[in-house]
């Protein structure tokens, strides 16, 4: 059975969104130019892949809040929010030849706040003059350090020279498939045991929080529930550590994840 997936291409102006859109479709549908602000209204087209009808949506480049008061930017902002709400996966595009800007950070926050699964694409790698490895580390480290509830594997491409089409389409399929699955309790709790063996929560306010049971309750967005005692005294650092561990042990990439901590509840009581 064919299924539909909405994939929006989001990023600040001029990073190469329309170029990626055209290359993925193999047709020059969206206008490309070196003038920032070329795309205004969303442009969409269907790409068939595997059993998926991928509805690709190219959006206008969103500027940072303090610079989004022009009429054109107001249109782009409202269209972006509208498409974002309906999207299953986001391609978040950055310019690899530049540093990460405030504009990029604001946009990425917006995507995460909507609990959207996201694939980070670092474009224009052909323009990187300095050591490529160093630049890759810079981007990877930024996303690793700043966003505790998602494990990202940024993809480095040059839309002009090699867009890595198959790879990108496969990523959409992977997220789509994992968004329909619930991971069984046995697997989740063997991961819980492994994490606790590595690092127990520490004492805080004279009590030691104990996580007893972990359950995967939703896959789009990804939600886990942790059951135990005194979980309100878990530190933020521990929660961040715990979430990253769960994601890496279960190999959940590019999917925003929430863990809800519940005190003294027996998951089997209902
Ligand atoms: N060197 C290089 N140039 C690129 C690459 N991808 C896109 N460009 C160029 O960057 C400019 C902007 O590309 P667009 O695809 O129009 O960018 P956009 O993000 O859609 O821009 P807006 O619609 O204005 O937000 C164009 O001149 C492209 O040819 C790339 O991988 N390498
Ligand atoms: Mg464009």
**pLDDT average per 10 residues of sequence, the chain (270 residues):** 95 98 97 95 97 97 89 94 96 97 96 96 94 93 94 96 96 95 97 96 81 97 96 93 97 96 71
The closest-lying atom of ligand 1 relative to the alpha carbon of residue 159 is 31
Domain extents for the chain?
A: 3-178, 185-263
* C-beta neighbour count of 113 within 10 angstroms: 10
* Ligand 1 centroid – CA 85 distance (Å): 25
Q: Which of the listed residues 14, 35, 37 should we mutate to test ligand 1's pocket, taking the one with most ligand atoms within 8 A of CB?
A: 14
Ligand 1, pocket residues at CB < 6 Å: 11, 13-19, 32-34, 36-39, 60-61, 123-124, 126-127, 158-160
Per-residue pLDDT at 87: 97
* C-beta neighbour count of 178 within 10 angstroms: 19
Give the three-class secondary structure for 202.
coil
Measuring from atom 23 of ligand 1, which residue has the nearest CA? 39
CATH of region 185-263, choose from 3.30.300.30, 3.40.50.2300, 3.30.300.20, 1.20.1250.20: 3.30.300.20
Question: What is the C-alpha to C-alpha distance for residues 40 and 127, in angstroms, rounded to an integer?
Answer: 26
CATH of region 3-178, choose from 3.40.50.12780, 3.40.50.300, 3.40.50.720, 3.30.420.140: 3.40.50.300
Measuring from atom 21 of ligand 1, which residue has the nearest CA? 14
* Ligand 2 centroid – CA 233 distance (Å): 47
* Ligand 2 centroid – CA 238 distance (Å): 41
**What is the pTM for the complete model shown?**
0.94
| Sheet containing 210-219, strands listed edge to edge, beginning at the edge strand earlier in sequence | 210-219, 222-229, 257-263
Number of H helices, E strands in the chain: 7, 9
Per-residue pLDDT at 269: 57
Angstrom CA distances, 246 to 22, 145, 153, 154, 261, stand at 36, 16, 16, 19, 14
Per-residue pLDDT at 150: 96
């Amino acid at each position: 059975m064919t299924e539909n997936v909405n994939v929006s291409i989001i990023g600040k102006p001029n990073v190469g969104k329309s170029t990626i859109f055209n290359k993925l479709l193999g047709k020059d549908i969206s206008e490309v130019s070196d003038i920032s602000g070329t795309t205004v209204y969303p442009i969409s087209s269907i790409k068939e892949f595997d059993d998926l009808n991928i509805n690709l949506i190219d959006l206008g480049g969103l500027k940072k809040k303090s610079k989004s008061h022009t009429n054109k930017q107001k249109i782009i902002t409202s269209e972006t929010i509208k498409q974002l709400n309906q999207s299953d996966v986001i391609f978040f595009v950055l310019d690899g030849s530049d540093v990460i800007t405030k504009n990029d950070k604001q946009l990425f926050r917006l995507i995460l706040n909507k609990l959207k699964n996201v694939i980070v694409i670092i474009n224009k790698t052909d323009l990187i003059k300095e050591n490529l490895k160093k630049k890759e580390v810079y981007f990877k480290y930024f996303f690793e350090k700043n966003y505790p509830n998602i494990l990202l594997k940024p993809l480095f491409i040059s839309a002009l020279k090699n867009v890595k089409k198959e790879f990108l389409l496969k990523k959409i399929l992977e997220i789509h498939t994992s968004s329909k699955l619930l991971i069984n309790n046995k697997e989740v709790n063997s991961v819980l045991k492994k994490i606790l063996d590595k690092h127990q929560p520490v004492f805080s306010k004279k009590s030691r929080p104990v996580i007893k049971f972990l359950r995967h309750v939703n896959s789009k967005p990804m939600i886990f529930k942790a059951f135990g005692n005194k979980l309100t005294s878990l530190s933020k650092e521990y929660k961040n550590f715990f979430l990253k561990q769960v994601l890496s042990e279960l190999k959940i990439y590019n999917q925003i994840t929430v863990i809800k901590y519940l005190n003294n509840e027996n998951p089997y009581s209902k």
